[in-house]
Amino acid sequence: MLRLLSFALFLVIWWIAAFLVGGAKLPSPPAVLQVMIAEASSGALFLHLGATLARVALAFTLAMSLGSAIGYLMGRVKLADRLGDPWLILLLNLPALVVIVLAYIWAGLTEAAAIAAIAINKLPTAIVTMREGTRALDRSLDEMASVFAMPRWRAFRHVVLPQLAPYIAASARSGLSLVWKIVLVAELLGRPNGVGFEIGVAFQLFDTPRLLAYSLTFAAVVLVIETLLVQPFEARANRWRPRAA
């Protein structure tokens, strides 16, 4: 309820701001909505959104799972941390553009190259977050699991994972947003469809309503997923926490 109210407030502020600065600088919500509807009814919106979402989903899953695994390892094993750290810092601080360009050069202007490049951009931040989470793990619970001879997987699932949950949540949320930022660049530079491609076109024409229409559609998708799926799930997973005042 409150969320909805807050969202409505956002629209109102946007509308007023658009009114004040003028449509050329900031298109008003109806102008953007109109483009959205037009693009949706032509089917283009779904086509592009679908393509982008598929890339996002793949790259995100890849980066999150691999990154979390590596981060966990680096948090647990000091040697892995020492060895991996310089690579990690390097990878973290390689510009997206460079990674994408190199990927396209090496693997061709292909879907695989795009997804790999996006995943590589997200990978190090997933590692970094998970490494911190792993370092902060409670050793006394590990000991408990080991004394009671819990099988590895059960101990991981019930002892370790819940402790990592807030880190995973943080890494997933900011990671999704990162992947989304990067996928646009990748599509801009070398894909024939997707929201990034459309944003590139809109950008070349300096068509701000279109730019916003495509940008906000993704945000809307995430908003819906968050509201309907992620947050109820999180609420359930966090039931055990003492309620906030």
Positions in 105-124 near its own copies (CB under 8 A): 105-106, 121, 124
Nearer to its own copies, 41 or 187 (CB): 187
Q: For residue 129, give Cα distances in angstroms to 33, 65, 70, 96.
A: 37, 13, 11, 19
Of 62 and 184, which CB lies nearer to its own copies in the complex structure?
A: 184
DSSP structure class, residue 244: P
Residues in contact with another protein, shown as a per-residue x/- string from 105 to 134 under the rule CB under 8 A: xxxxxx--x---------------------
For residues 191 and 129, give the distance between their C-alpha atoms in angstroms, rounded to a whole number: 30
Of the two residues 142 and 226, which places its CB atom closer to another protein in the complex? Answer: 142
200 in Cβ contact with 187 (< 8 Å)? yes
> How far is it, in rounded angstroms, from Cα 217 to Cα 221?
6
Quickly count: other Cβ atoms within 10 Å of residue 205's Cβ: 10
**Shortest Å distance, C-beta 227 to another protein:** 22
> Please, which of residues 188-217 interact with another protein by CB under 8 A?
188-192, 196-201, 203-207
Q: Which stretch binds another protein (CB under 8 A): 10-18, 50-58, 78-86, 183-191?
A: 183-191
CA dihedral over 214, 217, 221, 222, signed as positive or negative: positive
Shortest distance (Å) from residue 68 CB to another protein: 18
* Share in percent of the chain as helix, strand, coil (round to 5): 85, 0, 15
Q: Is 219 in the site for another protein (CB under 8 A)?
A: no
Rounded Cα distance, 77 and 73, in Å: 6
Of residues 13-52, those binding its own copies (CB under 8 A): 21, 25-26
Considering only residues 18 through 37, tell me which ones interact with another protein, judged by CB under 8 A. Answer: 23-25
- Footprint of its own copies on residues 163-222 (CB under 8 A)? 166-167, 169-171, 173-174, 176-178, 180-182, 184-185, 188, 196, 199, 203, 208, 211-212, 215-216, 218-219, 222
Give the contacts of 188 (CB within 8 A, at least 6 positions apart).
196, 197, 199, 200
